[in-house]
Amino acid sequence: MGGELLRYGDRVTSIDSTLLAGFVDECRAAATGDDAVVRIVAILEQLIVDRDGLAEATGPLPDDIPAMGIDETLFEDEHVTVMVIATPPDIAQPPHDHRMTAVIGVFDGQEDQRFFVNAPSGLRELTGRSIATGEVMSLGRKTIHAISATGPQACRAVHVYLGPLATVERSIFHPDTLVEEPFSVEAYEAYCRPLNNTVRLRSVGLPEARA
The tens place of each residue's pLDDT in the chain, 211 residues long, gives: 344 444 333 333 334 478 899 999 999 999 999 999 999 999 999 999 999 999 989 989 998 999 999 999 999 999 999 999 999 999 999 999 999 999 999 999 999 999 999 988 889 999 899 999 999 999 999 999 999 998 789 999 999 999 999 999 999 999 999 999 999 999 999 999 998 754 554 433 444 433 3
Q: What is the pLDDT of residue 197?
A: 52
Do residues 191 and 94 make contact, with C-beta atoms less than 8 angstroms apart?
yes
Which residue(s) pair with 119 in the sheet? 122
Exposure letters 63-73 (e unless 16+ CB within 10 A, then b): eebebbbbebb
Q: What is the pLDDT of residue 13?
A: 33
Q: What is the pLDDT of residue 186?
A: 97
Which residue(s) pair with 73 in the sheet? 83
Q: Which amino acid is at 193?
A: R
Write out the CATH class of domain 4-194.
mainly beta
Hey, where are the domains in the chain?
A: 4-194
Q: What is the pLDDT of residue 199?
A: 54
d(CA 55, CA 22): 16
Listed residue (50, 36, 64, 74) closest to 165, CA to CA: 74
